[in-house]
């Protein structure tokens, strides 16, 4: 049995997008059902103004604002979060997101480097991993950042309990789920490059006849607020996290 680490520190960032409540609900569930686990967790609301306003952001997307030297609210908030992470040095940073897309639960990383990151991935029951390209998101801050992307319809008390069990396994260094499917982001799916008919046939995380795997497409914020529909990925790789 792996040795238990009694000093492990987790930073959980909730509401990076103010209307995405996975982290809020998970923290509430931990308070109700698993309060001892909170000894290892530092909880932060990523975008408090947007959370209070029940909207995605105030001025711009917080998860596109890291490393951006600007005066907009989210750009300044990103600098505050980056400084806090640098000062407190958590073992792992969890960025909690939801999506309105129809897709499997997935974990998002910048790469597979970092012992704590691999430990979290292998402790999690979620088998789908998406490796993203740098987009001025929180994953660019270091090799100890993992994002959760959970469809809204999947957020149930049972799911929250299962994620809590994953975190307990991470704390206890129990790597129960090392076998994963890894998708690597290649590019964005620009609206100008696909027809509405083609976009209507996308199935997230399944290879499309256009030669790539669509990710996070459908009725989502990207479709409404950007010039792209989602992301392109290569075919999945079967990997074992060690």
Q: Give per-residue pLDDT as tens, 107-128.
A: 999 999 999 999 999 999 999 9
Domain limits, the chain: 10-181, 189-240
Residue 16 has pLDDT above 50, yes or no: yes
**% the chain with pLDDT above 70:** 95
**Residue 224 binned pLDDT confidence (cut-offs 50, 70, 90):** low
- For the beta carbon of residue 177, count every other beta carbon within 10 angstroms: 16
Query: What is the predicted pLDDT for the residue at 242?
Result: 87
Query: What is the predicted pLDDT for the residue at 218?
Result: 86
Answer yes or no: CATH 3.50.50.60 is held by domain 10-181.
no
**Residue 1 binned pLDDT confidence (cut-offs 50, 70, 90):** very low
Q: How far, in whole angstroms, is CA 109 from its chain's centroid?
A: 8
Distances in whole angstroms, Cα of residue 36 to Cα of each of 33, 119, 167, 180 = 9, 20, 12, 29
């Amino acid at each position: 049995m792996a040795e238990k680490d009694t000093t492990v520190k987790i930073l959980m960032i909730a509401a990076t997008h103010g209307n995405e409540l996975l982290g809020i609900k998970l923290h509430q569930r931990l308070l109700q059902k698993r309060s001892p686990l909170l000894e290892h967790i530092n909880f932060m609301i990523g975008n408090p103004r947007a959370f209070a306003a029940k909207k995605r952001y105030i001025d711009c997307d917080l998860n596109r604002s890291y490393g951006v030297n600007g005066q907009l609210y989210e750009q300044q908030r990103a600098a505050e979060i980056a400084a806090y992470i640098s000062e407190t040095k958590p073992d792992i940073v969890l960025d909690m997101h939801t999506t309105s897309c129809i897709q499997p639960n997935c974990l998002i990383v910048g790469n597979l480097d970092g012992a704590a990151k691999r430990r979290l991935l292998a402790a999690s029951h979620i088998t789908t991993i998406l490796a993203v390209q740098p987009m001025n998101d929180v994953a660019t801050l270091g090799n100890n950042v993992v994002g959760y992307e959970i469809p809204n319809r999947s957020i149930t008390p049972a799911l929250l309990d299962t994620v809590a069990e994953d975190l307990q396994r991470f704390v206890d260094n129990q790597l129960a789920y090392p076998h994963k499917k890894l998708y690597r982001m290649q590019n964005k799916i620009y609206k100008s490059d696909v027809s509405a008919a083609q976009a209507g046939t996308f199935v997230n995380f399944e290879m499309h006849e256009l030669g790539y795997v669509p990710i996070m497409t459908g009725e989502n914020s990207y479709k409404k607020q950007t010039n792209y529909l989602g992301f392109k990925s290569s075919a999945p790789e079967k990997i074992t996290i060690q």
